[in-house]
Structure formats: structure tokens, C-alpha cells
Amino acid sequence: MTSEYRFTHKHVLGLADFSVEDIQAVLQTAESFKEISSRSIKKVPTLRGKTIINFFFEPSTRTRLSFEVAAKRMSADTFNISNSGSSTVKGETLIDTARNLAAMNPDCIILRHPRSGSARLLAEHIDASVINAGDGTHEHPSQGLLDLMTVREAKGGIAGLKIAIIGDIAHSRVAHSNIIGFSKMGAFVTVSGPATLIPPGIEELGARVSRSVMEAVDGADVIMALRIQKERQQDPLFPSLREYAKFFGVSQNVADAASPEAVIMHPGPINRGVELDPKLADGSRSVILEQVTNGVAVRMALLYLIMGGD
């Protein structure tokens, strides 16, 4: 990173907008902030007086709490709105709701929304910073960054690593942000899963596609299993969860084909026994809970970089 580098993003809408230097800046900042969470007094005054609204249109435990913990550890004031409690259920549009929130002068709105592009739409209509906490099947940049941080910690670097992402690539914003992020940082990403769940042109985001899970994980340094969304079962994407687990689940057998030091990741929540063998999820190679811990640090870093600079 050159000494002139400055993180200049006002919004965090997707890793597609981030340069390698931007990603390095977030990871370095996150690594330095991680220690705060292990203190007995887990709070610094950095974002005192800042107002952050968590605006979640989809159910979320991990991400919403992670952002809230991150903000509070930085001394920001946080407020949570969920879909059921918002005026959108009364017919208000996303833009109107956002403008009303903006009129209360928040510094940052963190949006989780089922429609792709919604975070960008919000950013176009309000003055506050917007962090995309997952928009439809587009991106989930803070998840991508925490995954990068976790791999960098576990492996000492990212460039040159072989990353295998297995499962529902088509509907996974996590997969999209990870493919973009890991390939930008010089890793080789291979995706695999039922062909019905591999979207057209995914190669253009930076991934190689493999028909076979065993081939995809061959010699991999990282195996990431993705959640199968059972609610998508009405579209005939695969025959049954049973068959999915047998042919596309990350089992001990699959893990054995990877590098002996390979780490196992999952963005959660896990369907145990479907996309991931429980023994692997809980085993010594799993860094799944590290992902959650690092999520707080990455989100502290993002909040700091977009709001703390002034």
C-alpha cells in the first residue's frame, strides 16, 4: 500500500467497487481493532456521537447483531428497524422510508434487503453512508471481507491459495462477494454444486466452474460450504435434500481430497448434515466461529473507515 493511499468510499455497496488497496485497508484496520473485543472493557470512543441505523428487511441474527456489537464497541448510537416493525408494511416505499430515516440525520444506514441493488438505490437517495448488509442475490460485502480476514489469519496470506466454494452459487450473495474478493486478492476460486445452482457467466466474476465437487476441492486450501435455502425448493433445482447431501454436501470424504491443512468455512446458518457434515463444522479444521468473531472486527473497521476519518 502506498503512503498516499486513502480509503475514500462513502458507501460499502459491494466488493466489486473495492480495489485491492481498499480491501487491504479494511483488513489491516480490522486486524488492529480485533483486540478491542478481547479486552475486559470492550469499548472505544472512536464513533461517539455517531448515529447508526440497522435497517433489516430480512430475518438476520448474526449479521444484524454483529453490526450492532461493532457499532456499540465504537461508542456509536445504534437503532434497529426490522421489516415487520417498519412502515413499509403499511405500503411505504423503500425510498420514502429511507428519506424519512435520513431526515433524522443518521450518519450511516446498514441495509439488509431482499432485492438486488436496493443498497445502491438507498445510497442514491439519501445523504448518509450506506452499508450493504446483503441485497438480494447481489452482494454481501462485509461477509466477503470477514471471510478474507479469516483466511488471511489462518493461512498468513491470500494470494495463490485455492478456494473451493460448494453449493448454491446462484442465489448466494456471499458467494458473489467471496468470488470477487478472493480473486481480486490473487486466490484461485473454484465453484461447484448442482448445475442448476451455478449461474451463467459466473466465470466473469473470477471463478472457475467444476462439475465435480471432488475435483473442485482437490488440493484446496479453503473449503467453503454454502447454505441450501430450503424455501427455494419449489423451483425444481435438485431432487431432495437427501440427494443433495449425498452428492454435493461437504463430507469427510470431500474434505480429505483437499490439502491436509485446509480450513472449513460456512457463512451460517448451517443446515447440519445437508451442505456440511457436523463433524467437520465442529472439527479442528473449522474456522466457522472465527468467521463470526472476525465479523465484528471487520464491521468495526468499515464503520471507522467510512465515518471516523473526519
Partner 1 sequence: MPGLILLKNGRVIDPVNGIDQIQDVLIVDGKISAVVQPGTLPEQVGLVYDLAGKWVVPGLIDMHVHLREPGQEYKETIATGTRAAAAGGFTAVASMPNTKPINDNQTVTVFILAKAAEAGFARVYPVGAISSGSNGEQLAEFGELRQAGAVAVTDDGLPVGNSQLMRRALEYAGNHDLLVISHAEEMTLSHGGAMNDGALATRLGLRGIPHVAEEIMVYRDLALAEFTGRPIHIAHVSTRESLSLLRRAKEKGVAVTAETAPHYFTLTEKAVDGYNTLAKMNPPLRTEADVAAIREALRDGTLDAIATDHAPHGELDKDMEFDLAANGIIGLETAVPLTLRLVRENQLDARRMVELLSVNPARILGVPGGTLSVGAPADITVIDPEKKFVFTEESIQSKSKNSPFLGWELQGKAVLTILAGRITWGQDTFSS
- Per CB under 8 A, does 123 bind partner 1? no
Rounded distance between C-alpha atoms, residue 236 and residue 196, angstroms: 9
- Per CB under 8 A, does 205 bind partner 1? yes
- Per CB under 8 A, does 206 bind partner 1? no
- Measured between alpha carbons, how far apart are the two ends of the chain, in Å? 21
Which one of the spans 157-165, 198-206, 248-256, 285-293 is the region binding partner 1 (CB under 8 A)? 198-206
User: 63, 78, 137, 150: which one contacts partner 1 (CB under 8 A)?
Assistant: 137
- By CB under 8 A, the count of residues binding partner 1 is 27
User: 201, 240, 284, 309: which one contacts partner 1 (CB under 8 A)?
Assistant: 201
- Per CB under 8 A, does 11 bind partner 1? no
- Per CB under 8 A, does 163 bind partner 1? no
Each residue 234-273 as x (binds partner 1 by CB under 8 A) or -, in order, gives: -x--------------------------------------
Which one of the spans 25-33, 76-84, 131-139, 261-269 is the region binding partner 1 (CB under 8 A)? 131-139
- Per CB under 8 A, does 231 bind partner 1? no
Residues contributing to the site for partner 1 (CB under 8 A): 16, 93-95, 113, 115-118, 120-121, 135-139, 170, 173, 176, 199-205, 235
